[in-house]
Amino acid sequence: IWIDGTGINLRSKSRTLNSMVTSIKDIPDWNFDGSSTMQATTEDSEVILKPCAYFPDPFRGDDNILVLCSTYVWADKEKQKLKPAN
């Protein structure tokens, strides 16, 4: 779950992990096309999601979790450094 380029709207994606999450370090970074969320241009639209916190999912229950993320875009053409997307 993250805040899009409007600074108001929430966005989300779903993912299945192979093992139980016991630490924020267990949740890998992910990406999405940020051109549709006003967080990137269409020429360079990759936005990286970095997990910040997770909580038990009150809607799906069981071992499901909700993950809050920060968003980042590449700060250089070599794709070595990230900068905040918002």
- Span 21-60, pLDDT tens digits: 999 999 999 998 888 898 887 888 889 999 999 999 999 9
Task: Please work out, in degrees rounded to the nearest 5, the angle formed at the alpha carbon of residue 71 by the alpha carbons of 65 and 75.
Answer: 150
Backbone Cα Rg of the chain: 14
Closest by Cα among 42, 40, 53 to 82: 40
pTM of the prediction?
0.86
The pLDDT assigned to 63 comes to: 92
Q: pLDDT tens, 57-83?
A: 999 999 999 999 999 988 887 888 888
The pLDDT assigned to 68 comes to: 97
CA of residue 34 relative to chain centroid, distance: 11
* Eight-class DSSP state of 63: T
